[in-house]
Amino acid sequence: MSIFLSHLRLLLRPLAQAVGIHNGSSVRGMARLSLLTSVAGYDNKHPNCLTSLPSQWVYGDDACFISRTNTSYVLGVADGVGGWRAYGVDPGRFSRAVMKNCERLVSSGRFRPNQPGLLIAQSYEDVLTSKEPILGSATLCVISLQRNEHRIYTATLGDSGYLVVRRGRIVERSVHQKHTFNTPFQLACPPPVQSRNFYQDRPTQAVQTSMLVEPGDVLVVGTDGLFDNLTETVILQEVGTVKLLDMNALESLHQCARRLVERARQAAFVPDSSSPFANEARRYGINVAGGISGDITVILGLVVIEDQFPTTGCDFQTQTPYIQEAQSHMGDQRTRSVFSRSAVGALRIRSRSCSERYLHPSSV
């Protein structure tokens, strides 16, 4: 009987704590939270190869990071804006640099866990002041879990974003920021002599939020390769397969991340589907259908109680039989605009066969 009661307490403990948070009770004295994490991605320029680095994941022009301290977990994704490629600039260099700086600042303790927007600003400043200029721009999403507070702090700029899923429902979602269709807000490092011709949004324009989280909540963090191709309904279907607060949770989280990437990749090539990207285009009076091919990055984070899952952190990462350095040659075919409205001559939508959308500058 005592063994049965011990197992029963173990099963009921997360529920009791989750109910306490849901009812607005104080988190003081409660068990520390942790994250089980899984990373998966798709490199559009190397369809059969997912590239990876030990502390920084790179999928084409996308980059991401996960870092843990004694008080927090921090997740981040960045999507290099593909419009730079037409001018001889590797869009992935900028996104990789920003994520690398974020990871370095977190690991060294030089950040405030409740201010992810400040982390973005510090990382961006380091890119701007580096000895070797790194031209480019990127959208970003950074989330920090305060382990003792049971609270996440978020900062998003552009159309990289997140969902928080609780008991089969989306309880929080990021706001996507766009100047116009296919032109998201973006941090940028443009050529000095032409800086006025480029969109160059500020870190202070990032949308910042915070919310209490519960054991069993799933954080879905991704670039637009995920959110442009999969509806929230489809994402919820996949997240619903994660075995919450179960010893098999880690493996099911890994499988879910891979399925989300695979379904987003497949949806990009369905010509008649009503994708989020196509729905957005129609709101701007552009009649297109189907998804949009590009790089995809997904980070899943399952909120758990630390002492029940002592081995946590960056637990899974999708890898291929070989690792190669990320270099952008084709990259993300959406080729979003990097130019300000004053420098834009025409919006051209090419055929569905190549899935390319871009803004053509006339005065750069």
pLDDT at residue 334 in the model: 55
Min mean pLDDT across 36-50, 116-130, 174-188, 226-240 is at: 36-50
* Domains of the chain with CATH codes: 28-332 (3.60.40.10)
255/169 Cα distance (integer angstroms):
20
Is 43 in contact with 60 (CB distance < 8 Å)? Answer: yes
The rounded distance, in Å, linking the Cα atoms of 97 and 56 is: 10
pLDDT at 200: 85
Structure tokens at 163: 């969902």
Count of CB atoms situated within 10 Å of the CB of 172: 17
Mean pLDDT taken over the chain: 80
Residue 336, pLDDT > 70, answer: no
**197 pLDDT above the threshold of 90:** no
Give the percent of the chain with pLDDT over 70: 73
Neighbour-count burial of 91, counting CB atoms closer than 10 A to its CB (0-12 exposed, 13-18 middle, 19+ buried): buried
Cβ atoms 174, 231 nearer than 8 A: no
Q: Tell me: the pLDDT tens digits for 136-175?
A: 999 999 999 999 999 999 999 999 999 999 999 999 999 9
Which of 188 and 245 is assigned the larger pLDDT?
188
Q: Which residue has the tokens 């990207």?
A: 277
- What pLDDT score was predicted for residue 176? 94
Give, in order, the Cα–Cα distances in Å from 264 to each of 89, 110, 226.
27, 36, 6
3-state secondary structure 31-55: CCEEEEEEEEEECCCCCCCCCCCCC
Stretch among 24-38, 83-97, 137-151, 247-261 having the lowest mean pLDDT: 24-38
Q: How far apart are CA 156 and CA 48, in angstroms?
A: 30
